[in-house]
Homo-oligomer: A and B are copies of this chain.
């Protein structure tokens, strides 16, 4: 019966993470498996106030069909913040509101990727991007991401052997590894892509969640012609509204609007207006500072606990921001086997395999620190350390 489906759907991996999340429903389990922002930091009261104000101000207009580009007030706010924080001048005509950055990936895949065309992807990389692009049947070219960023050697080799349509990057506090591309790495990448037709997608959901180190330049600044920038309110305000955006050059934007219209006409005008009102009446920077403080403390607790409880032969990344860190077990061990041991001890994480284009057993794993408090982190990491020791016996 499978033959009735389009070829494109057969290659899309179902999210492994969601399957693990089902185990996480048991409240006695300590979960480092999630990929969620911490709900205790959601500005519930402020959103409630903004919502009531929206009802007062807009009346029934708020419920009518709206334009595919998105609410102009919200797009102005986004443009304003890019200028204020990043000195990036972006006309609102170059901003399209999407249902989270995930839809940005879907729309870019739709308008750009013909079957078999090249898409460069980080390895390990964001599972949702692999899923979104898989629909359009590209040829994936994985490029290793390590402490400094993308492997320049591998990137040069890919770029010299083929002309990829897209290159997908999460240069700040990447999911799953937590690493950021160094400034040097960014300029090297820009040099390689300049004067090519490869479009670089800079997906930046975590950029605001920086706890140490300095802010690195955006590809939008150093490779403006080839860069499409994706942003999101999911990690800084709330994820449930599904509100993100794409910043793209004119010619790309024109096609994106057509694709958005064909996909779902437009993103909910109501939730766009609520976020606009929230941004108007509240200090987003103060709110983000609060998130940074909490996540920063939790990251430190996780790093300290890992140093204390994990065997020395285990290595791990030292993120300066974001929500994840990445652990590498000794060679020839399996993080899937570790998960089996850990589940018995009621602690879970995501093994590394779904973050590779071609899933395979690995000795790597992802730990999330945004949703677990300091004390639970210490208990959970100690348990996980014990499980690793059992695995290594």
Contacts of A18 in B (CB 8 A): 67-68, 261
Cross-chain contact A64 with B240 (CB below 8 angstroms) = yes
CA distance A29 to B55 in the complex (A): 28
Residues A93-124 near B (CB distance < 8 A):
98-100, 102-103, 106, 110-115, 117
Contacts of A82 in B (CB 8 A): none
Cross-chain contact A9 with B40 (CB below 8 angstroms) = no
Closest 5 CB pairs of A and B: A63-B238, A99-B264, A63-B240, A103-B264, A131-B262
Cross-chain contact B36 with A63 (CB below 8 angstroms) = no
| Closest Cβ neighbor of A108 among chain B residues | B6
Chain B: minimal CB distance from A254 (Å): 9
Cross-chain contact B131 with A4 (CB below 8 angstroms) = no
Cross-chain contact B42 with A60 (CB below 8 angstroms) = yes
Chain A 17-46 against B: per-residue CB contact (8 Å), 1 yes, 0 no?
010000000000000000011011010100
Interface-facing stretch out of A143-151, A205-213, A266-274, A358-366: A266-274
Whether A12 is near chain B, meaning CB under 8 Å from some CB there, is yes
Q: Which of A18, A36, A63, A134 has the most CB of B within 10 A?
A: A63
Chain B: minimal CB distance from A379 (Å): 23
Whether A383 is near chain B, meaning CB under 8 Å from some CB there, is no
Q: A40-B60, A55-B48, A238-B63 are in contact. Are A9 and B259 (CB under 8 A)?
A: yes
CA distance A40 to B113 in the complex (A): 43
Whether A61 is near chain B, meaning CB under 8 Å from some CB there, is yes
Residue count of chain A within 8 Å CB distance of chain B: 75
Contacts of A270 in B (CB 8 A): 240-241, 271
CA distance A59 to B48 in the complex (A): 10
CA distance A267 to B234 in the complex (A): 13
| Closest Cβ neighbor of A55 among chain B residues | B48
Contacts of A269 in B (CB 8 A): 240
Contacts of A300 in B (CB 8 A): none
CA distance A263 to B15 in the complex (A): 13
Whether A195 is near chain B, meaning CB under 8 Å from some CB there, is no
Contacts of A40 in B (CB 8 A): 60
Cross-chain contact B112 with A259 (CB below 8 angstroms) = no
Give 16 A-B pairs besides A8-B110, A241-B268 with Cβ atoms closer than 8 angstroms: A4-B112, A6-B111, A8-B114, A44-B59, A52-B52, A63-B238, A63-B240, A64-B239, A65-B240, A99-B268, A103-B264, A128-B262, A131-B258, A132-B262, A240-B269, A242-B266
| Closest Cβ neighbor of A114 among chain B residues | B6
Chain A 174-199 against B: per-residue CB contact (8 Å), 1 yes, 0 no?
00000000000000000000000101
